[in-house]
Amino acid sequence: MSKSITYIICLAAVMLALASCVKNDPDVIKPSNVSVNVVNASEEVLNFYLNGTRQNSITGIFPLGANGYTAIPRGNQLLAFRKQFNRNQFTDADILFTLPVKLDSVASNVRYSIFTGGITSSNAFTVLDTLVSDANNAKLRFVVASPQLGALRVYLNDTLRFTSSAFKQVSTFKLVGNGQKVIKIRSTTNDEVLYTSTTLMEAGRIYTLFSAQIVANNKANLRAGLVINQ
């Protein structure tokens, strides 16, 4: 066999090997997202940012309101929170605080909620939302997002459902039936009713009840909000 033929055969073998390597290379994995809901338990209208881009609507997140689940890249992220406006100059306010969050779950039924119980990072916290609905019942959990008051009892139609002891405490989701519910939040010390409301809870829905920052540190002004998770 001549040298030229040998050269051609070797070159063809190399090219075939390279083509095989290219063909078998794994596809590039695109960054995946996870759903995050910001719940405003503070007294301010807030905006939240990721990498300098506002994630909520231009109206801001009002007190006792929530942004709704927003897609954010999975992994370690640093969120920034601002007031809706600078009250003196009526421009975007300076950053109130930043919050590092770890969003690493890959489960399809897992989302995240971030509660802002005030305007500092120490009053904000992340909660894992594992959402499994029940066709015959509503589900409810209680989140203590009031920094000044954590020891609380929650009653639905005069039945004790949740007892908490500390700020940032999060209950599990519980089956609570469905229909009209009278919600009462009481103090654990003297059983004083600090909050009451009536709401309709639908079977198949998942809800979060949260206590919020107390206005002027007056326990009688305990606020609470209700979020529909699913």
CB of 160 within 8 A of CB of 152?
no
Give the CATH number for residue 187.
Answer: 2.60.40.1120
| Cα separation, 180 vs 200, whole angstroms | 4
Highest mean pLDDT among 1-5, 77-81, 88-92, 103-107: 77-81
Q: State residue 230's pLDDT score.
A: 96
State residue 10's pLDDT score. Answer: 47
Please check whether residues 116 and 137 belong to one and the same domain: no
Q: Which residues pair with 34 in a beta bridge?
A: 72
How confident is the model over 89-100, as a mean pLDDT? 77
What confidence category does residue 152 fall into, taking pLDDT thresholds of 50, 70 and 90? very high
Domain hosting residue 55, numbered range: 27-130
109 and 147 both lie in a single domain: no
138 and 125 co-located in one domain? no
CB neighbours of residue 197 within 10 Å: 13
Residues 98, 138: one domain?
A: no
Kindly report the CATH number assigned to the domain that includes residue 42.
2.60.40
Are 78 and 145 members of one domain? no
13 in a structural domain: no
- Within a domain: 4: no
> Which pLDDT score, from 0 to 100, does residue 59 have?
85
Q: Is the pLDDT of residue 19 over 70?
A: no
Give the residue among 213, 66, 128 at the shortest CA–CA distance from 224: 213
pLDDT of 156: 98
Q: Which pLDDT does position 31 carry in this prediction? A: 54
Q: Confidence class of residue 92 from pLDDT cuts 50, 70 and 90?
A: low
